Each structure stands twice: as structure tokens, then as C-alpha cells.
């Protein structure tokens, strides 16, 4: 078995282009949004976490500052120092609540109003997420109070901070995270794409290319796929496909051999039956010979001929065979016509008149055997058409054969004075098994005649508007090569 892979690249069939996106395109389109969704899922908790951490950092710094401020003797800290401490921790005020007392430890440039409070003592995941996003969506610089647990015996500590620096830090964090996740997304998409491409898309393409190639030429065993060694579903599909293609190829070979055989048998049968029918006519005459030995054998001979004809008849339904190419040469038509008359049993049949109107010395460029079969079929049809006529018409029962030449074309006509071709039979007159309106007829005679005439580059048709039926055959001579003529002249 030849391998698909062994085919030269130029001969390998191209798979039909997918109607819209191929597998690779779909994969790429799918990987990018999936990786982006993964990025978003990572970003939302990350930014909330960043926000919480920043707030905790501020509270831790405020705690340290509170310890320092609280440790001052009598709680008195110079204004310049408390300002310095507040600047270093990025806060505007720090206060602490101990028992019932709420103490402002330090303050500098306090805004007239606090815009909102953030209490991180009872912060949930959800409120961290919404809080962080709210802050990012706000604009301008607002003052916020952050409240958190305080060390030691204090109830809580609070610090007032500016929102803007925190928001800008969140923007920076988001931008960095976005760039990193974009990088990861591109890298992951590329890796996933490549992995899927090599694992699935390429083997799938190989399968589709093989299917398309096999479809084009299913009888060619070189188009059977060579399964790879894969153990997965694609490997199984390849092995199954290979087995199926092998079965199909051998089935098709077997079928075409049988079809050819059937067609050949059918054609042989058709002409054999005609020949046997002629022998039957002869044996009919044999029966009238008074010799007792002939009298004894003649009925047996007739019975076996009848059986042979019936056998041929029953096997005629096997279709048409491919005719061999005609072996053409210039032949005189007269002897062929006489043989046809004889074979059709018309030479000895006085009830049917035979008119030979062939130009003297007419030659036809044809295969004599095939031309004989064409004419025999036409003459036999004519005789059969006349058989059905009432005996009173005997005088007008005629078959006429005419032949003439018009330049490089020979024209032969077979006409009879019968009832003419029935309208129903005219529609598919030259198609096999289509038109027989005669009991015992198979409808092959004219189809075979037409096939043989066409193989000569000629034409056969029913001439309209005549009494009875007239079939005209036109056979052109083969074109003569100018070179051959010149060579022949030179030789002469």
C-alpha cells in the first residue's frame, strides 16, 4: 500500500478551504478572551487587596506616630515636630480613642470637612472590592478618615489622609498589572495555540486533506491514509478511516470489474441472440427436409435453439458493455449488406420485398464487423416492424437500403413500409433498455447501433416524415493527415 505521505507534495490534494474560520482561527479567537477573563478575575481581588494594604500601612504609620506623640512629656509636642511627623506618614491628623475620651494627637492643614470614612475593622471582601473601585472612579482630592484597631488599651485609632496619592498609586498598580497580564495573556495564548495546533489542528488538516483527496479518486489505493502511531481519538479515527478506505477501494475495484463483466455479457448476449435467431430460421427450413434422420434431429435442434435464445434473453438485463475502438478501413458496402440480408433471413423470405439502392462501388471508412452489426440491428427492426402487418399488405411490405457518398461522408439509409416508430419509443430511441415496445425485445439494438456509429465519429437518426420508418446513418471518412499524403506522394 502506498502511503499518503509518500505522495509528492505537488500531487497531494489541497484540502477545501473552510467556509469561514478554520480551526486555528477559532482557537486563537477563543484563547485570547479566555486569558483576558482570567486576567480580570485576578485583577479585581488584587486591586482590593492593594487598597486594603495601603490603608493598613497608613494606620500602622499612624499607630507609630501616636506612640511617639503620646510619649511626649505632658503630651506636649512642638508644632513643628508634629507637622514633620504628619508629613512623614502622609497624614493630616491622627486621633485615638481611649475609653470615653477621643484625643487629637496631631493635626496640620485639616480640611473644613471630611468627605467620607473608611472603617477597616469590619471590612468584608465585597466591601473592600466596592470601596477600592469607588475610590478609583472618584475625581479630585478628597479628605478621608481611616479608622482601624489601635494597639494597647485604646479603642481605635483614626487618621485623616488625602485620597489623591492613594488613587494614583492604585492607577499605577493597575497599569503595571495590566501590562504584566497582557504579556502573560499573549504568551499563554501563543503557547496554547501552538500546542493545540500541533496536537490537533495539524492532524485534523491531514485527515481532511486525505478525505478530500480520496473523494476525488476513491479507486486509487495510493490515497488511503497511513495511520500515525497516536493512541488518542485522532489515532483511532485515522486507523478506522484507513480500514474503511481500504475496504472501499477493494469493493469499488470488485464492483467495476463486475460491472464491466455484466455489460460485456449483456452485449454478447444481444448479438448472440440475433445469431441464434438466424440459426433458428435455418433449422425451420431443415424441418421440411423429408430425410427421416433430419426429421428426428430437427425438433431437438429447434428446442435447444429456443432454449438458447430464451437464456440469452433472460441475461440481457445486465447493461451495456464498453465497445472496442473500431478498426476502420475503406470497405465496399455491398458484401456487408448482402450478409446482413442473409443473416436476417430475408434472402429466402419472399413475403418481404428487398430493395437495394446502393451507389455502385460505394465504399465506407468503417470497421466491417461493427458496420455489419449496425445494419443488422436496423434491418432486423424493420423486418420485425413488418411482421406485425396483415398478410393482405404483403405486396407493399418492403425494406429498402440506400447508400450514397457526399464528399467525404457516406450516407446509408434503412427504411421500411411498416407502421413507423411509435411515438412513445421516439423519446429515448437510442438509449439502452428504454424504448422496447416489442414483446421479446430488449431495447438494446438501436443503443448499440448508435454507440458503434458514434465511435466512427458518425451519427444515426430517425428521418421524420417518411412512410414507415427510415433510419439514416452518416459516417464521415477519417481526416487524412496532410503529412501522410505528402509522404505517399514522395514515395510514389
Ligand X SMILES: Nc1ncnc2c1ncn2[C@@H]1O[C@H](COP(=O)(O)OP(=O)(O)OP(=O)(O)O)[C@@H](O)[C@H]1O
Asked if residues 47 and 170 have their Cβ atoms less than 8 Å apart, the reply is yes
Tell me if 136 sits within 8 A of 170, measured CB to CB. Answer: yes
The stretch near ligand X (CB under 6 A) out of 21-29, 43-51, 287-295, 437-445 is 437-445
Piece of the chain touching ligand X by CB under 6 A; list 103-111, 197-205, 296-304, 434-442: 434-442
Other Cβ atoms closer than 10 A to 229: 6
d(CA 356, CA 10): 62
Extract the C-alpha cell encoding 165: 496619592
Q: Which of 416, 451, 458, 473 binds ligand X (CB under 6 A)?
A: 416
Nearest approach, Cβ of residue 375 and ligand X (Å): 12
The residue from 85, 321, 442, 452 that contacts ligand X (CB under 6 A) is 442
- Per the CB < 8 A criterion, the answer to whether 145 and 159 are in contact is yes
Q: Are 435 and 443 in contact (CB under 8 A)?
A: yes
> Nearer Cβ to ligand X, position 166 or 444?
444
72 to each of 82, 97, 311, 416, how far by Cα in Å? 11, 17, 132, 142
Residues 459-478 binding ligand X (CB under 6 A) are 469
Q: In what order do the strands lie in the sheet with 116-119?
A: 101-107, 93-98, 156-162, 143-149, 116-119
Determine which residue in the list 135, 444, 453, 475 makes contact with ligand X, applying CB under 6 A: 444
One of 181, 269, 370, 381 touching Mg ion (CB under 5 A): 381
How many whole angstroms separate alpha carbon 216 and alpha carbon 222?
Answer: 12
User: Which span (108-116, 255-263, 268-276, 442-450) binds Mg ion, by CB under 5 A?
Assistant: 442-450
Identify which of residues 142 and 402 has a Cβ nearer to ligand X in the complex: 402
Query: Hunting for cell 502622609 — which residue is that?
Result: 90
* 160 within 8 A of 92, measured Cβ to Cβ: yes
Q: Which of residues 362-391 bind ligand X (CB under 6 A)?
A: 377, 381-382, 385
- Least gap, CB of 366 to ligand X (angstroms): 20
Angle, helix 368-387 to helix 445-455, in steps of 10 degrees: 150
Q: Which of 438, 461, 472, 478 binds ligand X (CB under 6 A)?
A: 438
Residues in binding contact with Mg ion, number by CB under 5 A: 2
| Burial of 456 per CB tally in 10 Å (0-12, 13-18, 19+) | buried
Stretch that binds Mg ion, among 50-58, 115-123, 182-190, 445-453 (CB under 5 A): 445-453
| Residue 442 makes contact with Mg ion by CB under 5 A | no
28 and 192 Cβ atoms separated by less than 8 Å: no
Contact status, residue 152 vs residue 84, Cβ threshold 8 Å: no
Binding mask 264-283 for ligand X (x = CB under 6 A): ------x-------------
**Smallest distance from ligand X to CB 438, Å:** 4
Q: Which residues of 282-300 are buried (b: 16+ CB within 10 A; e: fewer)?
A: ebeebeeeeeeeeeeebee
Residue pair 399/346 in contact (Cβ under 8 Å)? The answer is yes
Q: How far is the CB of 357 from Mg ion (least distance, A)?
A: 22
Among 305, 401, 421, 475, binds ligand X (CB under 6 A): 421
Residues 91 and 148 sit within 8 Å (Cβ to Cβ) = no
Which of the ranges 107-115, 282-290, 367-375, 378-386 carries the binding residues for Mg ion, by CB under 5 A? 378-386
CB under 5 to 8 A by kind: which of ligand X, Mg ion, none does 367 bind? none
Binding mask 215-254 for ligand X (x = CB under 6 A): ----------------------------------------
Shortest Å distance, C-beta 395 to ligand X: 19
The option from ligand X, Mg ion, none interacting with 444 (CB < 5 to 8 A, set by class) reads ligand X
Q: Is 445 in the site for Mg ion (CB under 5 A)?
A: yes
From Mg ion, ligand X, none, which one binds at residue 417 (CB under 5 to 8 Å depending on kind)?
A: none
Partners of residue 157 on adjacent β-strands:
96, 148
Minimum distance, C-beta of residue 267 to Mg ion, in the bound complex (Å): 13
Distance, first Cα to last Cα, the chain: 56
* Least distance to ligand X, CB of residue 321, Å: 14
Question: Which one, 223 or 270, has the nearer CB to ligand X?
Answer: 270
Least distance between ligand X and beta carbon 389 (Å): 11
Q: Residue 161 has which C-alpha cell? A: 489622609
Distances, alpha carbon 187 to alpha carbons 29, 35, 183, in Å? 15, 10, 6
- What is the binding site for Mg ion (CB under 5 A)? 381, 445
Binding site for ligand X (CB under 6 A): 270, 377, 381-382, 385, 416, 418, 420-422, 425, 429, 435-438, 441-447, 469
Amino acid at each position: 500500500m502506498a502511503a499518503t505521505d509518500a505522495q509528492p507534495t505537488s500531487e497531494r490534494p489541497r484540502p477545501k478551504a473552510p467556509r469561514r474560520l478554520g480551526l486555528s482561527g477559532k482557537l486563537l479567537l477563543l484563547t485570547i478572551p479566555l486569558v483576558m477573563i482570567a486576567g480580570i478575575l485576578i485583577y479585581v481581588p488584587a486591586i482590593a487587596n492593594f487598597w486594603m494594604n495601603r490603608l493598613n500601612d497608613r494606620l500602622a504609620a499612624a499607630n507609630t506616630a501616636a506612640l511617639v506623640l503620646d510619649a511626649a512629656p505632658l503630651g506636649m509636642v512642638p508644632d513643628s515636630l508634629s507637622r514633620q511627623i504628619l508629613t512623614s506618614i502622609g497624614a493630616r491628623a491622627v486621633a485615638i480613642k481611649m475609653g470615653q475620651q477621643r484625643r487629637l494627637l496631631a493635626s496640620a492643614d485639616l480640611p473644613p470637612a471630611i468627605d467620607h470614612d473608611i472603617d477597616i475593622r469590619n471590612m468584608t471582601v465585597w466591601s473592600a472590592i466596592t470601596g477600592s473601585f469607588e475610590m478609583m472612579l472618584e475625581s479630585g482630592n478628597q479628605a478621608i478618615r481611616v479608622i482601624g484597631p489601635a494597639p494597647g488599651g485604646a479603642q481605635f485609632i483614626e487618621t485623616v489622609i488625602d485620597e489623591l496619592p492613594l488613587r494614583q498609586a492604585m492607577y499605577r498598580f493597575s497599569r503595571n498589572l495590566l501590562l504584566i497580564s497582557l504579556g502573560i495573556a499573549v504568551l499563554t495564548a501563543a503557547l496554547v495555540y501552538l500546542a493545540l495546533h500541533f496536537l490537533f489542528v495539524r492532524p485534523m488538516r491531514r485527515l481532511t486533506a486525505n478525505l478530500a483527496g480520496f473523494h476525488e479518486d476513491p479507486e486509487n489505493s495510493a490515497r488511503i491514509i497511513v495511520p500515525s502511531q497516536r493512541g488518542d481519538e485522532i489515532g483511532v479515527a485515522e486507523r478506522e478511516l484507513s480500514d474503511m478506505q481500504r475496504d472501499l477501494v477493494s469493493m469499488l475495484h470488485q464492483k467495476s470489474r463486475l460491472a464491466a463483466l455484466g455489460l460485456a455479457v449483456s452485449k454478447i448476449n444481444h448479438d448472440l441472440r440475433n445469431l441464434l435467431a438466424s440459426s433458428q430460421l435455418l433449422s425451420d427450413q431443415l424441418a421440411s427436409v423429408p430425410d427421416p434422420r433430419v426429421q428426428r434431429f430437427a425438433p431437438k435442434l429447434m428446442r435447444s435453439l429456443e432454449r438458447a435464445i430464451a437464456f440469452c434473453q433472460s441475461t440481457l438485463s445486465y447493461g451495456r458493455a464498453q465497445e472496442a475502438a473500431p478498426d476502420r478501413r475503406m470497405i465496399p458496402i455491398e458484401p456487408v449488406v448482402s450478409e446482413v440480408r442473409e443473416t436476417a433471413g430475408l434472402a429466402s423470405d419472399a413475403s418481404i420485398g428487398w430493395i437495394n439502392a446502393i451507389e455502385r462501388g460505394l465504399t465506407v471508412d468503417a470497421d466491417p464487423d461493427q458496420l455489419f452489426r449496425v445494419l443488422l440491428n436496423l434491418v432486423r427492426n424493420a423486418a420485425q416492424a413488418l411482421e406485425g402487418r396483415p398478410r393482405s399488405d404483403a405486396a407493399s411490405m418492403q425494406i429498402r437500403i440506400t447508400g450514397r457518398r457526399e464528399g467525404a461522408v457516406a450516407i446509408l439509409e434503412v427504411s421500411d413500409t411498416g407502421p413507423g416508430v411509435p411515438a412513445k419509443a421516439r423519446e429515448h430511441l437510442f438509449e439502452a433498455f428504454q424504448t422496447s415496445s416489442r414483446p421479446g425485445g430488449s431495447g438494446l439494438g438501436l443503443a448499440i447501433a448508435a454507440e458503434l456509429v458514434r465511435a466512427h465519429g458518425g451519427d444515426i437518426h430517425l428521418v421524420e416524415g417518411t412512410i414507415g420508418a427510415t433510419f439514416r446513418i452518416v459516417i464521415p471518412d477519417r481526416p487524412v493527415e496532410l503529412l501522410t499524403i505528402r509522404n505517399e506522394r514522395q514515395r510514389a
